[in-house]
Structures are given as structure tokens and as C-alpha cells.
């Protein structure tokens, strides 16, 4: 892998990270309707979900959940 591929990946990953998505829109809506405290609760929920998903991915459990709809339903 050469430096051009690495720089292209970094550029695309940066654009994906900074672009607004459903989470950003949900936080904006929550803050405007229910206030700052509810917005922070939303952000805390997102962060918790990201960490849980990351941990499951590290241990390979996410792959099992993707492959088995039944297991995903019960978790």
C-alpha cells in the first residue's frame, strides 16, 4: 500500500466522519424540542452504543449477530 492510497483513505474517512448524519439530525431535533439535557442523554446513548458495538466487533460477536437474525432479535 503506497502513501497515495493511505492519504485517499484518510480524506474519505474524514469526510464521512464530519458529514452530518441521522445521529446529528436526531440530536438537533431533540435539543430543539426537549432541551439541552435530553440532547446530552441522546449523545450519551450514541456513545454507549458505539462502544458496545466496537467491543462486540473486537470479539467477533457482531459477525455472529449479522449471520443469525434470531440471535440479533433476542439480544
Q: Quote the domain boundaries for residue 49.
A: 3-74
Q: What was the pLDDT predicted at 31?
A: 93
Q: DSSP code of 43?
A: H
pTM of the prediction?
0.56
Cell of 43: 449523545
- Walking along the chain (75 residues) 10 residues at a time, the average pLDDT comes out as 86 78 87 94 87 78 71 61
Q: At what angle do helices 22-34 and 36-58 cross, to 10 degrees?
A: 150
Domain count, the chain: 1
Amino acid at each position: 500500500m503506497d502513501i497515495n492510497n493511505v492519504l485517499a483513505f484518510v480524506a474519505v474517512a474524514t469526510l464521512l466522519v464530519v458529514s452530518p448524519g441521522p445521529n446529528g439530525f436526531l440530536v438537533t431535533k431533540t435539543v430543539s424540542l426537549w432541551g439541552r439535557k435530553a440532547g446530552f442523554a441522546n449523545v450519551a446513548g450514541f456513545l454507549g452504543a458505539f462502544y458496545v458495538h466496537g467491543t462486540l466487533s473486537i470479539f467477533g460477536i457482531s459477525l455472529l449477530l449479522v449471520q443469525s437474525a434470531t440471535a440479533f432479535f433476542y439480544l
